[in-house]
Amino acid sequence: MSRARRLSDYALLSDRHGSALVADDGALDWCCLPRFDHGSCFARLLDGERGGALVVRAPDGDRLNGSQRYRDDTMVLETTVDCRGATVRFHDALLLGEDGASAPHQLARRVDCLAGRAELELRIAPRFDYGEVRPWLRCDDPRRAWAIGGDDALDVWAEAGVERIGDHELVVELGLDAGERSWLSLGMHAAAEAERRPPPADAAELERRLEATAAAWRRLAATLDRCPDATTRRSALILLALVYAPSGAIVAAPTTSLPEAEGGSRNWDYRYSWIRDSVFAGRTLARVGNEQAADRFERFALRSAAGHADELQVLFGIGGERRIEERELSLCGYGGARPVRVGNGAAEQAQLDTLGELVNLAWERHQRGRTPDGDEWRFLRSVADAAAARWRAPDRGIWEWRGPRRQLVHSKAACWAALDRGARLAEALGDGDAPTARWRRERDAVADAIARDGWDERRGAFVQAFGARELDAAALLLPVTGFVEWDDARMVGTADAIADALDDDGLVRRYDGDDGLPGREGAFLACSFWLSEALARQGRLDAAWRRYERALATASPTGLWSEQHDPAAGAPLGNYPQALTHLAQIGARLALHDAG
């Protein structure tokens, strides 16, 4: 991966429908519009030759040196680059409607020359459907071009003019003196719309839309009024940026196939909505002030599962789609890591912890005064019934084992939560017909099984699976299920054992067993923040802060975290940015705040 740009050199753009990654020299190397899971129009991130990109070049071809920041409380990105004595700033945004939910699927870029004379070349090479389609270019206006192929069309408008180079590339040449600016926009459309040629937005309209987008983000950020600091507020805003606004689904990450092991095959597509991760995200956003996200996701899960646990999947497409077949693409991969996958076969896995997360979320919402209605309760009853019937079965669990199913302790504890919270909800709702006696009987059987088979007396810790000795950082989540208190002696011992056995230069690996996949993955950042939270809630604040600050230091300059981190190389690994890491950071910081 030495020839690939580091992931921390990228910042995220989102319109809460789709996303893009912008490098610190202004290049656009990843873009999926109009949805997070749509075929890319730029994918140089995964293939430098075939993927397509918007590249910014100096006249002499030298690499531009830049830095990035977001405008406060927005996802409007400012990238400042030095170019042969001149200083230029790009203001980029995927435009939002004023309601913060609708979007025109348009990227707006304002180029400001801050000092000197800047001469730049913007090379635009769209490649649709993950590099499979080199589009047909139509240039019938000096300032406008259309790239058309398959069912996609990209509308390119440049205030300085746009020209075609060959059959498949466009160029915008800029010459700006200090105080001057120029605009560029890229709009994604269905191919048929290109025939109608809708009128473009001019510079004044793009300025209005950019500022309206900033205002919409600030209104969203204003709902995050319980964040203890700016870092946590940024994390929460990233979570809102990963919400697919039309449905309320939350994507795990806006990218696919960024490797968890250097040059290896641990490469997965995360542009879908996992029930578990989204419950975590909704719970976290509610804790910092935005309860709407949790409410909308619960309704999304109810719709997608067709109102019954038998139709519940581990993950869904962001519109509620059920068929997410995994397939491999011919791209060379980030840093040569193959295969490049789209779709995710985990959709067909058995992961029993999903049952507990849904009922636990409903119980927490009820405690905040949001009682489920009759239809929602019927769905939750079916989920509790499923936990009662299935908890003894092995599953693939939170880490989505692709080998044989196992009797995973975290999954058992989550089933305990489904049964316990289901019984409590039934009582609170006055549902005398609910099989609460059975649920409690099965709940107690789960607890007995975990105590007997999920605890290792020699290690003084909860283990990964029944009868095993391997540790798993997912055990740090047992108090979240309600199965055990944070300061229970068993959790104190578990936290100590994990801190000792799974430590990786101050960070935490997921587990110490063989998962059957080649290559050694990095430290798992969510687990690192989970350990900090556990220590804080046990009153061990010095250790909690040390763990927290070590994990915090792995963020990108714009405050983004990947899934994993390679401590030896100091480099992020895995899909980026990762919702699970951001919500874990928020949880750890809130625990430290609550502990004083």
* Mean of pLDDT values over 91-108: 96
CA 92, 336, 47, 31 torsion-angle sign: negative
Dist. CA 511–CA 410, nearest whole Å: 13
Tell me the sheet residues that pair with 86.
83
Instruction: Look at residues 592, 595, 596, 566 and name the one whose alpha carbon lies nearest to residue 231.
Output: 592
Query: What ranges do the domains of the chain cover?
Result: 7-218, 223-594
The answer on pLDDT for 331 being more than 90 is yes
Binning pLDDT at 50, 70 and 90, where does residue 2 land?
Answer: very low
At position 139, the amino acid (one-letter code) is C
Phi and psi at residue 436, to the nearest 5°: -65, -30
Q: Which pLDDT tens digit goes with each residue over 461-503?
A: 999 999 999 999 999 999 999 999 999 999 999 999 999 999 9
Percent of the chain's residues with pLDDT above 70 = 99
Pick the CATH number of 223-594 from 2.60.120.10, 1.50.10.10, 1.20.1250.20, 3.40.50.300: 1.50.10.10
Dist. CA 128–CA 154, nearest whole Å: 9
Residue ranges in 65-155 assigned as alpha helix (H)? 128-131
Q: Which pLDDT tens digit goes with each residue over 236-249?
A: 999 999 999 999 99
Binning pLDDT at 50, 70 and 90, where does residue 3 land?
Answer: low
| Residue 93 and residue 76 in contact, taking contact as beta carbons nearer than 8 Å | yes
| Residues in Cβ contact with 220 at an 8 Å cutoff, skipping those fewer than 6 apart | 100, 237, 240, 290
Enter the tokens of residue 114: 């801050």
pTM (2 d.p.): 0.96
Report the mean per-residue pLDDT for the chain: 95
Strands 117-125 and 243-244: unpaired
Binning pLDDT at 50, 70 and 90, where does residue 1 land?
Answer: very low
339 preceded by cis ω (within 30°)?
yes
Return the beta strands (E) in 386-541 as ranges: 455-456, 461-462, 503-504, 507-508, 523-524
Dist. CA 227–CA 590, nearest whole Å: 8
* Mean of pLDDT values over 422-444: 97
CA 35, 40, 41, 44 torsion-angle sign: positive
| Residues in Cβ contact with 33 at an 8 Å cutoff, skipping those fewer than 6 apart | 15, 17, 18, 20, 41, 94, 105, 188
Dist. CA 510–CA 525, nearest whole Å: 9
Q: Which pLDDT tens digit goes with each residue over 38-47?
A: 999 999 999 9
Dist. CA 71–CA 119, nearest whole Å: 25
Dist. CA 360–CA 279, nearest whole Å: 9
* Mean of pLDDT values over 504-532: 90
| Burial (CB count <10 Å: 0-12, 13-18, 19+), residue 62 | exposed
Enter the tokens of residue 595: 């502990």
Q: What string of DSSP letters covers 388-423?
A: HHHTTS-B-TTTT-SSS-B-BHHHHHHHHHHHHHHH
Instruction: Look at residues 236, 486, 277, 278 and name the one whose alpha carbon lies nearest to residue 398.
Output: 277
Q: Which pLDDT tens digit goes with each residue over 133-148?
A: 999 999 989 999 999 9
Q: What string of DSSP letters covers 333-386?
A: -GGG---EEES-GGGGS--THHHHHHHHHHHHHHHTT----HHHHHHHHHHHHH
Binning pLDDT at 50, 70 and 90, where does residue 511 land?
Answer: very high
| Residue 409 and residue 450 in contact, taking contact as beta carbons nearer than 8 Å | yes
The answer on pLDDT for 519 being more than 80 is no
* Mean of pLDDT values over 513-542: 91
Show the CA angle centred on residue 401, arms to residues 398 and 406, nearest 5°. 85
Question: Which fold does the domain 7-218 belong to in CATH?
Answer: Beta-galactosidase; Chain A, domain 5 (2.70.98)
Q: Which pLDDT tens digit goes with each residue over 355-392?
A: 999 999 999 999 989 999 999 999 999 999 999 999 99
Enter the tokens of residue 184: 């560029």
Show the CA angle centred on residue 48, arms to residues 172 and 164, nearest 5°. 25
Dist. CA 20–CA 133, nearest whole Å: 19
pLDDT at position 335 is: 94
Q: What is the 3-state secondary structure (H, E, C) of 538-576?
A: CCCHHHHHHHHHHHHCCCCCCCCCCCEEECCCCEEECCC
Give the H/E segment covering residue 282: helix 275-287
pLDDT at position 262 is: 82
pLDDT at position 596 is: 85
Give the H/E segment covering residue 10: strand 10-14
Binning pLDDT at 50, 70 and 90, where does residue 61 land?
Answer: confident
Strand-by-strand arrangement of the 169-177 sheet = 10-14, 19-23, 28-32, 53-57, 117-125, 169-177, 163-165
Q: How many CB atoms lie within 10 A of CB 448?
A: 10
The answer on pLDDT for 548 being more than 50 is yes
Q: Residue for token digits 């009024």? A: 225
Percent of the chain's residues with pLDDT above 90 = 87
Dist. CA 275–CA 283, nearest whole Å: 12
The answer on pLDDT for 157 being more than 90 is yes
* Mean of pLDDT values over 216-233: 97
* Mean of pLDDT values over 172-197: 95
At position 149, the amino acid (one-letter code) is G
Q: Residue for token digits 């398959």? A: 150
3-class secondary-structure state, position 447: helix
Binning pLDDT at 50, 70 and 90, where does residue 403 land?
Answer: confident
